[in-house]
Structure 1
Amino acid sequence: MDKTIRLWKLDSALVTTLRGHSAPVIGVAISPNGNAIASASDDGTVKLWKRDVSLPVTLDHQSSVYGVVFSPDSNTIASVGLDTTVKLWNKNGILLNTLRGHVAGNWAVAFSPDGNTIASAGWDGTLKLWNKNGILLNTLGKHSQPIWDVAFSVDGNTIASASADNTVKLWNKNGGLLKTLGGHTAGVWGVAFSSDGKMIASASDDKTVKLWKMEAGKLPVLLATLNGHSGKVWEVAFSPDSQQLASASEDNTVILWNLDRVIDLDEVIAYGCNWVRDYLKTNLDVSQSDRRLCDGIDAK
């Protein structure tokens, strides 16, 4: 809430602090080519920070901006916010198109890996899919509460939506519901797919990050619950090699998780589930959400 963007090295060393917004910064995106950073703010603007340029370009969204993202080719920027629109800008900050269709504000926006589809998440609980020319393609079935985040899988065939209704829903690109991921005990603010396609991470008001295992032809199963934050977790992001996960929280910290340890524990988890499966199903002190923790995890 200090109106700044901070850039860090993986060893936790602060690289620089970017100042220019006059209200809290809600979202940040780095272009795939690494040449620019876009920041979304409650001050009604997106600021485009370019390498070797001292002052940012200001994109006037004309309402509080909550989500911003670059297209895969780094040539287009999409922003969403309180005014219910999706705005598309070129890499120099020129407005290209305004997409209208939501009936409430939007918190998040995402491009498909091929850049041909844009997904926008609405406070009305709907997810809308647009083509890159701004034509509405589909409105996906509804969450019971606002959607806070949206992400595409690496192959573009699955879309994840994170909601205040405590769930993550997985959809196919035609709008069919594939699976609802439960387990969080409060709203889910962030969701991300790993670049290797093997995991989904979700960030929640319940102060946890959940890591879900993905396998071709199978439904996701809960792999781990990551505890470490003392406040609500707002967002998650995988490193490009899928070996680390970053989580950002209202406790004013970002935690970097080494996922090698989690992934390497597959066999241990399966072995442990073989021991505790009956306990989870029959013990009266186990919560309903925890009773299914070992579903789909078989002994190796």
Structure 2
Amino acid sequence: MIRVALQPATLRPDPMELILKGHTNRVRCVAFSPDGRMLASGSHDRTVRLWDPGSRRILQTLKGHAHWVQDVAFSPDGRMLASGSCDGTVRLWDLDSGRILRTLVGHTNGVQCVAFSPNGQTLASGSSDGTVRLWDLTTGEILGILRGHTDCVYRVAFSPDGRVLASGSGDGTVQLWDPTTGQILHTLEGHTDWVRGVVFSPDGRILASGSWDRTVRLWNPATGKELRVLEGHTAPVYDVAFSPDGQMLASGSVDRTVRLWDPATGQVLHTLEGHQGAVWSMAFSPDGRTLASGGCGRAMRLWAIHESIAREARNGHQL
């Protein structure tokens, strides 16, 4: 395991920042569609909004949840959106009509996170009830209930090949599951506080986790070995996101910043400042040129990632 401390980034032009306003309460989650033509945001105002990221116009406002919307995810084919809410349900939306296709009921507490399997046939949801549930998207039936965490499940993520499901929890661990059998493959221990974010690299060789212990940790999901500890945030880390090419890792924090890291070297490439409160969620556009971030405010921010930053990431050494 390698521990990397924050190093000052070399001076370069600041990424361009655009602000999207429309929600009437905090923006809890953001996600880009697979083709990059749509951006979804979920809010404490109980709505999901669909945006054209180019024109910054609101395309649709999806209403139906009875409590905060904690997470949103597009299906791999881009035709459906899943939203998880503190009302304890997952809703599946048809993006052409804006209508609810199905409401998934089963969790006994708020739903914190949702993720589609790469083949689009299964949805995973994590909840404050401490479980991960797997849903058959054809029938809406529960395929399995994964029990192993002793606290709230804050984030779930499938590996790119769909063979591993990761879950981060308030118990401070990351569990790696076989989604077919429901068996735990590895328990990743190292964080000393809640794990709020987990994400696989696009090639599936690295898992990143962000925690309230203020660190981001990189793991080998095949072995469960910790590879690197990224330190620099001055407050809890809420979310982590890999760029589509895997050359850059973003982390959002209660310290009001987004940090862009080179995962190969552990060095900070840039620090994005502008949020007036905690950064709760982030998503890269499919082409990697834009990063969306939302948090403890009513607006989202869109950051244009300069080629100079991406080039520096590509020049890093492999782990």
TM value normalised by structure 2: 0.80
Aligned residue identity for 1:2:
D
Match in the other structure for 2:4: none
State the partner residue of 1:13: 57
Cα distance change on mapping 1:40 and 1:142 into 2, 3 Å: same
Name whichever structure is richer in strand by fraction.
2
Could you tell me whether the CA contact under 8 Å between 2:173 and 2:187 is conserved in 1? yes
Q: Displacement, 1:261?
A: 4.8
Deviation at 1:95, TM superposition (A): 1.0
CA contact (8 A) 1:207 1:232 kept: yes
Q: Deviations over 1:230-271 (max 9, x none)?
A: 11100111111111111112121111111125526849xx9x
Task: Using the aligned pairs only, state the percent identity.
Answer: 46
Q: Higher helix share goes to which structure?
A: 1
Match of 1:108 in 2: 155
Q: Secondary structure at the match of 1:56?
A: strand
Paired residues of 2:79 and 2:96 also in contact (CA < 8 A): no
* SS at 1:170 equivalent: strand
- Does the 8 Å CA contact 1:45/1:62 hold for their aligned counterparts? no
Map residues 287-298 of structure 1 onto 2, 5 A cutoff: none
Report the RMSD for the aligned CA atoms in angstroms.
1.8
Paired residue secondary structure (2:309): helix
Q: Which has the higher contact order (CA 8 A, sep 6+)?
A: 2
Q: CA deviation at 1:228?
A: 1.1
1:80 and 2:126 correspond: yes
CA distances 1:64-123 after superposition (whole Å, capped 9, x unpaired): 100101111111100001111110001232211101111111100000000000000010
State the alpha-carbon separation in 1 of the partners of residues 95 and 300 from structure 2.
24
- Bigger drift between 90-99 and 256-265 goes to 256-265
Conservation of the 8 A alpha-carbon contact between 1:33 and 1:73: no
Structure 2 portions without partners, runs of 5+: 1-43
Equivalenced residues, count = 267
Query: Counterparts of 2:301 and 2:308 in 1: how far apart (Å)?
Result: 15
CA distance in 1, matches of 2:149, 2:243: 28
Instruction: Find the aligned partners of 2:161 and 2:279 in 1 and give their Cα distance.
Output: 29
Distance in 2 between the 1:254 and 1:262 partners? 24
For 1:190 and 1:266, how far apart are their aligned partners in 2? 22
Structure 1: 5+ residue stretches without partners: 271-295
Q: How does 1:1-300 map to 2 (within 5 A)?
A: 1-10=44-53, 11-52=55-96, 54-60=99-105, 61-92=107-138, 93-133=140-180, 134-173=182-221, 174-215=223-264, 219-263=265-309, 266=312
CA contact (8 A) 1:238 1:246 kept: yes
Task: Give me the whole-angstrom Cα distance separating, in 1, the residues matched to 2:78 and 2:245.
Answer: 20
Matching residue's letter, 1:26: Q
Q: Is contact 2:248-2:310 (8 Å) kept?
A: no
Q: Within 2, Cα distance between the matches of 1:74 and 1:15?
A: 24
- Give the structure-1-normalised TM-score: 0.85
